[in-house]
Every structure is written in C-alpha cells, then in structure tokens.
A = this chain, B = another copy of it.
Amino acid sequence: MAIITLTSDWGTSDHYLPAVKGALLSRMPEANIVDISHEIVPFDLNQASFVLRNCYHHFPKGTIHIVAVNTEADLENPHIAIRYDGHYFIGTDNGLFSLMFDSIPDEIFEIDIPQDSDYFTFPTRDVFVKAAVHLAKGGAMEELGDPLLKLFERTAFRPAISGDAIIGKVIYTDRYENVFTNITEGLFKSECRNRPFSIEFSVSRYRIRNINKSYGDVPEGELVALFSTTGNLQIAINRGNAASLLGLGTDDSIRIQFG
C-alpha cells in the first residue's frame, strides 16, 4: 500500500489539509496518507527542512513525501519531483530541499502536467496530488516533465572551527523547549579528541562541561547537554523549558571551547 506523507504550514483548522486528503483519496482510495507536521511556522523553510529530514528516513523506501511550504512556482522555482535515498519528494524548488539533503539527489524532474484548476494558489491540491498519485501507482518520474541538473540552493549555516573552539548556532526548538544546535555528534567528536570542554551560550552566563546520555542523568530543573537522536547537540533542562529559561532562540550562538 503506497504511503504518501504531507508536510505543510497550513495548520489543522482550515480546509487546505482535508481538501488535499480528499483529492488524494479520490484518485487513489487505498493510499495511506500520513501527516508529518502541519504546524510549520508559515513560510519557514528551515523549520520544514529540519522536521522532515529527521523523520522521512524512518518511513519505508518508496514513500512519497509531499512538501507544501511556499508552493507558488515561478520561472526560477518550479514544481519538482525528487528521488533521494530511496524516497520521493514533491514540492517547489524554493531552497527547502537544498537545506534538507546532504548530497545531490539521484534524480530531479520538473513537474509539468496539466493543472486541475485555474487557480495558482493551491498547487498542492492541483498539481502535487496528481504527481504523487502518478508515482504511487508506479508511474515514471520522466513522465512528469524535464530532468533538472541541480536544486535551487539556500545556504544552511554550518558551524565554524575557530582555534580551539566550535562556533555553532541554535537551529530549532521543540515542544519541550529543548534547543537543537547545528553542531553534530560527528563534528564534536572529531574536534574534541578527549579534551575537556565548555559549552557556552552568547545569551547566558551558564557553562556546561560534559555531555550526558539522557535527560534523567541530571536532577529535575538542571541544565543538560546531550546528543539528540537527530545527531544534533541539544541543550535542555530536565523537565524544564530550556529555551525560555536560558533566553535561547533560533540563530543564537553556541560556542564549545576545548582544552
């Protein structure tokens, strides 16, 4: 049974989400439609790419992921279908996919199919649904349109190495107000080499001097650093709200000083 996932900034109050589900089921009654998130902050490509990159790979290979954030197309930002890591992605080439993937996709095709309506403001319903069902029924990517060589690029800020320090930043805050940084476990380990270290925030005088395995390694209400299951260095307070209590938000600097 084909799995089609939906990621959007629609929220769950309006008619957008059920209209798309209805349109999918009308074309493919047996589709298994799974919501990724519809609470993406409106127009926020960084947040959408973070959420989807950290869950898509748990779905079976062959899953089709419709990504509905900033979907209006223009000449520079067409509607596209992508094959990457055994998964299919359908959306608008607005930079979101370049933020999401670590390497160049296996295939990219512009979607150039007749639209269902005269409206340009709801391509998810009028274009992506058709493309997704085409792929879900085993249709070829090639039949959607012309191949593209590369994605529209947006630059994700990568951590910098500065002397004996890594300078990273906050990229995401979850519902518990755990703070995710762009410093990965791999980068930390390659720089740390068993030296002592201090994790420092631009906005707070706190320091963290070790990295734990679980929240419960520290008492309730205390600060803890650990590697999230996403692979990102996370700053949290055990059962507390780290973002509010530390005053940390997206783009704030995090520095790890070694030695």
Contacts and interface: CB of A to CB of B under 8 A. Distances in A.
7 contacts: A15-B230, A18-B36, A18-B51, A18-B55, A72-B216, A119-B213, A121-B214
Q: How many copies are assembled?
A: 3
A58 B21 CA distance: 8
A11 B239 contact: no
Given A125-B229, A214-B72, A14 B34 contact: no
A59 B27 CA distance: 9
B58 A22 contact: yes
Nearest to A238: B72
B58 A26 contact: yes
B121 A228 contact: yes
Contacts of A5: 18
A114 interface: no
A18 B37 contact: yes
Given A25-B60, A43-B239, 12 more contacts: A11-B39, A15-B36, A15-B54, A18-B58, A22-B56, A22-B63, A26-B58, A119-B228, A119-B229, A120-B214, A121-B226, A122-B229
A135 to B, nearest CB: 17
A210 to B, nearest CB: 15
A39 B13 contact: yes
A33 B82 CA distance: 27
B215 A121 contact: yes
A250 interface: no
Interface in A1-58: 1, 3, 5, 9-23, 25-26, 29-30, 32-40, 42-43, 50-52, 54-58
A227 interface: yes
Given A12-B39, A13-B39, A125-B58, A119 B227 contact: yes
A233 to B, nearest CB: 13
Contacts of A155: none
Contact of A51 (B15, B32, B34, B213): B15
